[in-house]
């Protein structure tokens, strides 16, 4: 597996990481715990060194699972997790919180669940409008000084927030959605990251599965699957957006690859400091995704994708309104 550095930092990771959320939550009922552990360990065996989780995934159970799966490989892997949500007494996520005291408590909880002494990369999961980003960055800076955290990251943060945070504590990576069907980061986010030397970790690099070609307008989603609430996944939107999948399929057919591999290879070709983190629950899909690192897209291939994609207008918002409000601009 190829390696990449996140921006100007010394944090080197596999060119493709593993997003672990879907093993426990978000995409329907959680899979069997041992099956999830097996997928994570299979990723390690195949050279993946970058694993992404968060306290809110489950909540809490995903960190425990990731910690157990990676315990024997701690010195070989980079573990990223996130803080930023508030929970009620039953453990349900009930809002945002990035007050410094909450951050300290969240980090102690994550360290315990993961079974580690230091978090390699700690993200603020969503920007909290009630807390100055300078205070957030300062709290993480103190945690780095205390040896509990190695690197600071942000998720779904806008350009000005990134700049303000970076001035207090250098930001190693931004995690936000980016793929062939969500290219908004190209306008301001990617230039900002390039200027500041910050790595980019795209989540949902396969459009929450849509770009794999395995989802059609007839696909049904469980009520616990976030895609059942997303406007971009209504049957009408899926039918309209199929054109993008068809494009990937046509290109993939000419290079003995799959649509998913072309979509990931396209992301890898955008910048050398981009590290996508596709998630999966199955080893065969893991192998498919990791195969993208070996797909070489030529300048002509990239131009063909660019020209064809420019003719396709993706239909539907990427989040329902209540989640859209959590995105920092």
Residue 289 structure tokens: 């995704």
Residue 291 structure tokens: 């195969």
Phi and psi, residue 19, nearest 5°: -80, 120
Query: Is 123 marked active-site?
Result: no
Phi and psi, residue 32, nearest 5°: -55, 135
Name the nearest CA neighbour of 140 among 110, 164, 171: 171
Residue 16 structure tokens: 């493709």
Q: Please check whether residue 116 is in contact with residue 67, taking contact to mean a CB–CB distance below 8 angstroms.
A: yes
Query: Which residues does 81 contact at the CB level (< 8 Å), separation at least 6?
Result: 52, 53, 54, 55, 63, 110, 114, 119, 121, 122, 123
Q: Which of 57, 73, 123, 178 is catalytic?
A: 57
Radius of gyration of the chain (CA): 19
Share in percent of the chain as helix, strand, coil (round to 5) = 45, 15, 40
**SS3 of residue 34 by DSSP:** helix
Phi and psi, residue 127, nearest 5°: -65, 130
Handedness of CA 222, 224, 229, 233 (dihedral sign): negative
Active site residues: 57
């Amino acid at each position: 597996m190829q390696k990449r550095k996140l921006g100007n930092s010394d944090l080197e990771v596999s060119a493709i990481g593993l997003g672990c959320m879907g093993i426990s939550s978000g995409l329907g009922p959680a899979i069997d715990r041992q099956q999830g552990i097996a997928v994570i360990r299979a990723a390690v065996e195949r050279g993946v060194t970058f694993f992404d989780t968060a306290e809110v995934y489950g909540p809490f159970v995903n960190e425990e699972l990731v910690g157990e799966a990676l315990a024997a490989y701690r010195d070989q892997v980079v573990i990223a997790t996130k803080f930023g949500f508030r929970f009620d007494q039953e453990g349900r996520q009930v809002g945002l919180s990035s007050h410094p005291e909450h951050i300290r408590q969240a980090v102690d909880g994550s360290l315990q669940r993961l079974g580690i002494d230091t978090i390699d990369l700690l993200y603020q999961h969503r920007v909290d409008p009630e807390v100055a980003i300078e205070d957030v960055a300062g709290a993480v800076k103190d945690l780095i000084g205390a040896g509990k955290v190695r690197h600071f990251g942000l998720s779904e943060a806008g350009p000005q927030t990134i700049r303000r945070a970076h001035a207090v504590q250098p930001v190693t990576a931004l995690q936000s959605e980016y793929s062939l069907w969500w290219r908004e980061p190209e306008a301001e986010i990617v230039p900002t990251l390039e200027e500041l030397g910050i790595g980019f970790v795209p989540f949902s690099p396969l459009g929450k599965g849509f770009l794999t070609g395995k989802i059609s307008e007839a696909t049904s989603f469980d009520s616990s699957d976030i895609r059942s609430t997303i406007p971009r996944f209504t049957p009408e939107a899926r039918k309209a957006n199929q054109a993008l999948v068809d494009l990937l399929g046509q290109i993939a057919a000419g290079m003995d690859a799959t649509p998913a591999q072309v979509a990931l290879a396209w992301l890898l070709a955008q910048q050398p400091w981009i590290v996508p983190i596709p998630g999966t629950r199955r080893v065969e899909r893991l192998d498919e995704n990791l195969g993208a690192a070996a797909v070489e897209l030529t300048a002509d291939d990239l131009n063909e994708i660019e020209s064809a994609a420019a003719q396709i207008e993706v239909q539907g918002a990427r989040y329902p309104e209540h989640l859209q409000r959590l995105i920092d601009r």
